Structure 1
Amino acid sequence: MIKNIIFDFGDIFINLDKKRFAKEIEKLGVSQVDEAVKNILDDYEMGLISTEDFLTFFNQNLKKPKEALVLAWNSILLDFPLKRLEFLKKLAESKKYRLFLLSNTNDLHISWIQKDWGMELYNDFKSCFEKFYLTYEIHLKKPNADIYKFVLNENNLIAEETIFIDDTKENTDAANLLGIHTWNLIPGEEDVTQLFTKKEDLF
């Protein structure tokens, strides 16, 4: 029986355009498969380097303007359908489950979301969760097993009583190995508001 629900953020609540992001980054001549770039991206997402150091790396090493990088970086972020917020609010109000957010998210993206949504909406969303885990704040990253163990241990959660919802199969596979139930949601085909029909066997 499920008692705990852990949600991803991107493409679960806020829509993303990963193809546009890849194109915008490529226009700047930034390859996400380049080892140095990949390491910087990982370090930034885990909060191991500051936003200023992140932007300076591209500015000095790849000769790219900081402003252009910020625009390209944030181009992945789209809208937040309010039906998802209403679903989440009702879920939180029911008090039937412990709710958590676990997202590979960085400072630039969260700053953009806070500005785009407004702090009232952002705090309204955040308050639905018992804990709000962003990788740049906890210095851990999906799909590494340690991030799932951290959430389970810190909140005394039993894996078999927990479901994790994420749009990336690599992430749900990693959680699955620890005994956590998962839903690898397919953006555009499925919606988080369908949780109780898509996974009715668990509830």
Structure 2
Amino acid sequence: MINMEEINQKPDLSNIKNIIFDFGNVLLNINPSLTAIAFKSLGIKDEADFFGGRSSLELMVKFERGQATSEEFIRAISAAVTGEINDQQIIDAWNALLLDFPPERIELLTTLGQKYRLFLLSNTNQIHYEAYMQDFQQHYGFSLDTLFEKLWFSHQIGLSKPDTTIFEYVLKDKSLIPEETLFIDDTLMHVEAARKTGMQAWHLLPGVEICDALS
């Protein structure tokens, strides 16, 4: 049984050599409700029903795992909209949830990188990936890649959280010892899945700033 007090409390880094970060709402601020509002303004009258429908959920999983293209995703959205819209409007609405990457988190990663091997593991998709990678480069003048030893994105490796196979994949890919590896995510089911592989895992609760917890 998962010890919820343990999974939610500040992690003990004394035996940790590797830290794997989730991206959204751990390092990059996001607000999914902004995308819901944007799609509603485009003409999807009940965005909750649309994105919660079986066919839409299946498409989302495929898109997240790189099994559906950006074009296929855009066509599916366009078909659900009442009225004329173009591809860029759909892309902008889809990206509305992407907010900022605070500079203090870059400072945190730079400091941690002097002591630990740092990695990024994110459930994402091609449209979001292109947007935040470009935005980060333009804002800070260097690539997000430089902050980590390796970045794993679900749409590039064909795997996604919370399947335990994705955690087994990253451990094997970089020859990481589970007991020496900490995974940080804001989604409980992802943290629970990571712990099943032997990793230490921390559930970052809403309102908890990772810089305060790891500084």
The TM-score with structure 2 as length reference comes to: 0.82
Native 8 Å contact 1:85 1:125 kept in 2: no
Superposition deviation, residue 26 in structure 1: 4.7
Give aligned-pair identity as a percent. Answer: 34
Aligned to 1:11: 25
Conserved in 1, the CA contact under 8 Å of 2:19 and 2:183? Answer: yes
Does the 8 A contact of 1:9 with 1:102 survive in 2?
A: yes
- 1:32–1:147 Cα change, 3 Å: same
Deviation at 1:116, TM superposition (A): 2.5
Identify the residue that residue 10 of structure 2 maps to in structure 1: none
The amino acid of 1:42's aligned partner reads V
| 3-state DSSP of counterpart to 1:75 | helix
Instruction: String of CA shifts for 1:124-174, please: whole Å, max 9, x gaps.
Output: 432121111111111100111110000011111111111100111111111
Pairwise CA distance, 1:6: 0.2
Q: 1:174 to 1:25 in 2, by over 3 A?
A: farther
Correspondence 1:16-165 to 2 at 5 A? 16-27=30-41, 28-29=44-45, 30=47, 31-60=50-79, 65=85, 66-92=87-113, 94=114, 96-119=115-138, 121=140, 123-165=142-184
**CA 1:59–1:21 in structure 2 vs 1: closer, same or farther (change >3 Å)?**
closer
Aligned equivalents of 2:71, 2:134: Cα separation in 1: 19
Looking at structure 2, the residues matched to 25 and 35 of structure 1 have their Cα atoms a distance apart, in angstroms, of 18
Using a 3 Å threshold, how does the CA distance of structure 1 residues 35 and 132 change in structure 2: closer, same or farther? same
Letter in 2 for 1:180: M
In structure 1, the partner of 2:5 is none
Rounded to whole Å, the distance in 1 between the matches of 2:151 and 2:139 is 16
Over the residues paired in the alignment, what is the CA RMSD in angstroms?
2.0
Q: TM-score, normalised by structure 1?
A: 0.87
Moved over 4 A (4+): 61-64
1:172 aligns with 2:186: no
Mapped to 2, the partners of 1:69 and 1:88 lie a distance apart of: 33
Q: Which runs of 5+ in 2 are unaligned?
A: 1-14
> Which residue type is aligned with residue 35 of structure 2?
F
Distance 1:115 1:127, change over 3 A: closer
Letter in 2 for 1:192: I
Give the 3 Å change call, closer, same or farther, for CA 186–130 of structure 1 in structure 2. Answer: same
Matching of residue 196 in structure 1 with residue 210 in structure 2? no
Using the TM superposition, give the Cα deviation of residue 79 of structure 1 relative to its aligned residue in structure 2, in angstroms.
1.1
**What is the DSSP-based 3-state SS (H/G/I as helix, E as strand, rest coil) of the residue aligned with 2:51?**
coil
